[in-house]
Chains A and B, each alone.
Chain A
Amino acid sequence: MTQVQRPPAISAPTGRGDEVEIAILAPRFEEHAFPWRQIFGYAASLILTMAALLLVVHHVLPPVGLIVAILALATIQASLQLGLFMHLRESLGSTWHVVTLALAIVVALGIVIFSIWIMSFKSGVS
């Protein structure tokens, strides 16, 4: 099992779109002889799904605690699948799509959270 980092040197781009402007956005390609990453992602996702289901079916926590817990489990599962299934860090040059995706997630959280917040006023505001 080997982990290969490409392009090899940040300072030596070929000038064909593989420049890396910011070190943390350097691309990384994972190559293994056996699909360990996929199998681990699948097993972990199954376990997290069943854990969330069991928490709810057995009412392990009070309602608010349950919602926070299952949303946390979903977020962990989503992150695992982004990294293990979606090859998030593969790119030619800087991984600018990660920046875009992060921005989209911030916008998405804003839409959901502030919609719930503003609609929770109901008749209190007129």
Chain B
Amino acid sequence: MTTRTNSLQEARLPLEFQESHETLSILGFWLFLASDVVLFSSLFAVYAVYQGRVAAGPTPLQLFSLGPVLTETILLLTSSFTCGLAIFMMRRGRTRPLVAWLVVTLLLGLGFVGMEVHEFVTDVAVWGTWHQSAFLSAFFTLVGTHGLHVSFGILWVAALVVQLLRYGLTPTTARKVYTFSLYWHFLDIIWVFIFTAVYLSGKIT
């Protein structure tokens, strides 16, 4: 009787929550994200303290152009949305649409990283490297750390697409896709604060 209740309950849970060790991995990933919140907060603190220390280098007002930054923001936000649609499809057990939305997410992420690399290369060519001032050091460290996270996410989702095509949807692959989605949405939330506290506040005089 008890066993039967268990299996009924399990049948109604999403795939990635059906095996307790996979569920533990999800909890563990949340703990990692919590530590990443603290990591980024220290970089935000450094940026907030040093954004006025421009030495002979550019000021935030001179350095930032909001047009490309808005495009980056929309690219990353849209990729977060398509990643949400991927999970929606996963919950309905539809592997093909899941893979398709993950590929769209990957491409949008590539677009974001490409624009950011272009922005950084242009900044360095025009204004010099992060050795120029405390402001540039803090800026490149904060935004660069986020960009590295996104780049790692792109490699991760590429590997997940391969695994989904080879093994299909299992509790393990479902858990991997789910933790990837947590990571990707988390990076968009960090970007919201970079867009606000770095780029927008740099335009407030």
A contact set with B: CB distance below 8 Å: 4, 6-8, 14, 16-18, 29, 31, 35, 37-39, 41-42, 45-46, 49, 52-53, 56-57, 59, 63, 66-67, 70-71, 73-74, 77-78, 81-82, 84-87, 90-92, 96-97, 100-101, 103-105, 107-109, 111-112, 115-116, 119
Are A104's CB and B195's CB within 8 A?
Answer: no
Contacts of B38 in A (CB 8 A): 104, 107-108, 111
Are B84's CB and A41's CB within 8 A?
Answer: yes
Contacts of A91 in B (CB 8 A): 17, 23, 26-27
Are B42's CB and A111's CB within 8 A?
Answer: yes
Are A116's CB and B20's CB within 8 A?
Answer: no
Are A63's CB and B84's CB within 8 A?
Answer: no
The interface on chain B, measured as residues whose beta carbon lies within 8 A of the other chain's beta carbons, has a size of 58
A54 to chain B, nearest CB (A): 10
Specify the chain B residue showing the minimal Cβ separation from A107.
Answer: B38
Question: In the bound complex, how far is the Cα of B26 from the Cα of A99, in angstroms?
Answer: 15
Are A92's CB and B77's CB within 8 A?
Answer: no
B176 to chain A, nearest CB (A): 15
Produce 1/0 per residue, B1-24, CB < 8 A to A: 010011001001110010010011
Specify the chain A residue showing the minimal Cβ separation from B39.
Answer: A108
Secondary structure type dominating chain B contacts: helix
3 residue pairs, one from A and one from B, having the closest CB atoms: A108-B41, A97-B30, A104-B34
Choice from A8, A37, A81 contacting B185 with Cβ under 8 Å: A81
Are B85's CB and A96's CB within 8 A?
Answer: no
Are B192's CB and A74's CB within 8 A?
Answer: yes
Choice from A14, A49, A84, A109 contacting B77 with Cβ under 8 Å: A49
Q: List 6 additional A-B contacts (Cβ < 8 Å) besides A74-B196, A85-B81.
A: A29-B14, A41-B84, A52-B195, A74-B193, A78-B192, A107-B37
Choice from B23, B44, B84, B196 contacting A92 with Cβ under 8 Å: B23
Given A31-B91, A85-B80, A112-B45, the answer on whether A16 and B6 have CB atoms closer than 8 Å is yes
Given A38-B88, A74-B196, A92-B17, the answer on whether A81 and B6 have CB atoms closer than 8 Å is no
Question: In the bound complex, how far is the Cα of B73 from the Cα of A94, in angstroms?
Answer: 34
Given A71-B196, A108-B40, the answer on whether A78 and B49 have CB atoms closer than 8 Å is no
Q: Is B201 an interface residue (CB 8 A)?
A: yes
Are A71's CB and B197's CB within 8 A?
Answer: yes
Choice from B30, B81, B200, B203 contacting A42 with Cβ under 8 Å: B81
**Interface pairs (9), CB distance under 8 Å:** A14-B6, A14-B9, A35-B84, A45-B77, A59-B204, A67-B201, A74-B192, A87-B87, A107-B41
Given A16-B6, A42-B81, the answer on whether A52 and B200 have CB atoms closer than 8 Å is yes
A24 to chain B, nearest CB (A): 17
Are B37's CB and A7's CB within 8 A?
Answer: no
Question: In the bound complex, how far is the Cα of B88 from the Cα of A56, in angstroms?
Answer: 35
Contacts of B196 in A (CB 8 A): 52, 70-71, 73-74
A39 to chain B, nearest CB (A): 8
